[in-house]
Chains A and B, each alone.
Chain A
Amino acid sequence: MSVSQRVASDDQLARLLQIGIVLEEVVEARTHRHYQQLDAELDEEVETLLADAAEESADHRERLEALIEGLGVDSVPFDEIESLVDARYGRTRPEDFDDVLYDQLCNEETAYKFYDDLIEAIEDSEATFSIDREELIATLTTIRDEEAEGVREVTEVMERR
């Protein structure tokens, strides 16, 4: 068993990027469910927050997909992951969802933590990847910083209430 906390190969990097895609898809699916279930209760501020979060997740997902494509590794088709995640949340009862803002905060914090750990693991690695390392780190850093900004935005809305 390897006890290193480094990313050692294209395949391993691609797998971690796939996990990032799933996390982004989870954000989109949960946001969508909140929309459906809290329709009447959503005020404009929360609605805008959710819409922006869903849009940002879709954008992050596309950027991660572009990185995987650059690695030339076969990835699980996105529509399969999407239908799986949608089906999972379709079966979740409304009471099993956290408060909408708290849930959104968890989404952003989890994503931030994931990208932060991933960047560190890539920086600690001496492996050569099929895609440009600088570009890879720059893309992930941008995504991570947007997640950090998301945490700040949700926290601000929560504090105002």
Chain B
Amino acid sequence: MNTADQYLKTIYVVQDSEDGPASTGSIADSLGVSPASANEMIGKLEERGLAEHEKYKGVTLTDDGIVRARDALQTYCIIERFLANVLAVEDFQAEARELEAVIDDTVAERLDTIIDRQPECPDCFDPESDACACLEVAAAPVEPEQQ
């Protein structure tokens, strides 16, 4: 996932929680970057037809932006679920945030074949916990079922 995808995912989640355009401040806060950096990337997303920025209102994703944002969110959920349920990583949210930039969608798709993701993903994403609401965290790696 590249930096643009991380922004799209964040804008999507912020838009959803604010029930309207995402303010630049909220986007910058969520990503832990300066408002100036956020503005620069939002400009690039606008140029690519993925977002629209209206002064004093905020950022709204276009239809294309929404599709890419949902894909990015899904990739993030796959990484989280993989870390939590396969590698039994306790702080899977923090690690997923660190790793998402390095894990490509095609790699995530492969990891997806060994996890139990729910069909409603990524709509089940809960911004409060920064994780899938259906995710059950295993205390240890999941034991294989007897066949």
Contact = CB atoms under 8 A, between A and B. Distances in A.
Given A76-B87, A84-B114, A114-B107, A5 B101 contact: yes
Contacts of A88: 113-114, 144
B128 interface: no
B129 interface: no
Size class of B's contact patch?
35 or more
Which of B86, B95, B147 has most chain A Cβ within 10 Å?
B86
Interface string A71-108: 00000100011011111101100000000000000110
Contacts of B10: 1
Nearest to A80: B141
Interface of B: 2-3, 6, 10, 30-33, 82-83, 86-89, 95, 97-99, 101-104, 106-107, 109-111, 113-114, 141-145, 147
Interface of A: 1-5, 7-8, 12, 15-16, 18-19, 22-23, 26, 76, 80-81, 83-88, 90-91, 106-107, 109-110, 113-114, 117-118, 121
10 contacts: A1-B6, A3-B32, A5-B2, A19-B107, A23-B111, A81-B141, A87-B145, A91-B147, A109-B106, A121-B102
